[in-house]
Amino acid sequence: MKLLVSNDDGINALGIRALANTLAEAGHDVTVVCPDRERSATGHGLTLYQPIRAEIVETVFLPSVKAWACDGTPSDCVKLALWALLESPPDLVLSGINQGANLATEILYSGTVSAAMEGVIEGIPSIALSLTSHTCKEFQPAANFAKVLVDQLMQKPLPELMLLNVNIPPVKWEEIAGAVITRQGVRRYIDVFDKRVDPRGKTYYWLTGEVQEDVEPPSGLNLPPDVPIDVHVIRDNYISVTPLQYNLTYANGLNKMSDWEFKFSG
């Protein structure tokens, strides 16, 4: 398959190297277009008021992998690849492997997920991959699963356009309990800003928020109740695979507001 690979951890991240090289070794046509430095938690930001530059990279990946480092956001990278750098569209867009989880409401901030979502917006099925640890550096099990998933999609394509948000527990390959289809959970955070003073006496703030609790998703989403939640299965060393879309319309809200009337005076 023809694959476009990006990330938000930057061109030198171990995760994207493991992902791109593993897929290239499996015989896929792999192109990498990713940020030239870490651009985590950028969401779906785009660069509008300055030029975007991309440089060919020849020393990070296997020789068969074509690679560019871009000074834009993750979404910039995918958009640039699809509209300027690639001669033809890829079969899949893959983003990752991220250093750290992208579960529950974290996906709203994630540059990793946003890069993959850019592929879906352009009509290309996509996969976001994350290793659920900020300290574990062993990305090969996650890369192995990416190969398994891509091989499966070659035999059985997705039934419709979507993004698969994949989170892999930070354990050895033989310790992974399996992979399950999940629904997105909800996480609440304590967002604490640490107030500091720089050497010149000016005040600045550092965001040090932490997860407070994992809660059940709200009712009324028309989701099957027996489907497990992403944050739960990871704890039991299962890989979480959650199908996502970019349409955020709240169906139950539409139903409950169907009889609303907006009256304007004058």
36 annotated as belonging to a binding site for a ligand: no
95 annotated as belonging to a binding site for a ligand: no
Give the separation between CA 196 and CA 19, rounded to whole angstroms: 38
CA-based Rg of the chain, rounded to a whole angstrom? 20
198 annotated as belonging to a binding site for a ligand: no
**Beta carbons of 20 and 169 less than 8 angstroms apart:** no
Locus of tokens 């629904």: 183
55 phi, psi to nearest 5 deg: -115, 140
Nearest to residue 28, comparing CAs of 96, 90, 87?
90
40 annotated as belonging to a binding site for a ligand: yes
| Alpha-carbon 169 to chain mean position | 15
Cite the annotated binding site for a divalent metal cation by residue number.
Answer: 8-9, 40, 98
Q: Which residues are annotated as a binding site?
A: 8-9, 40, 98
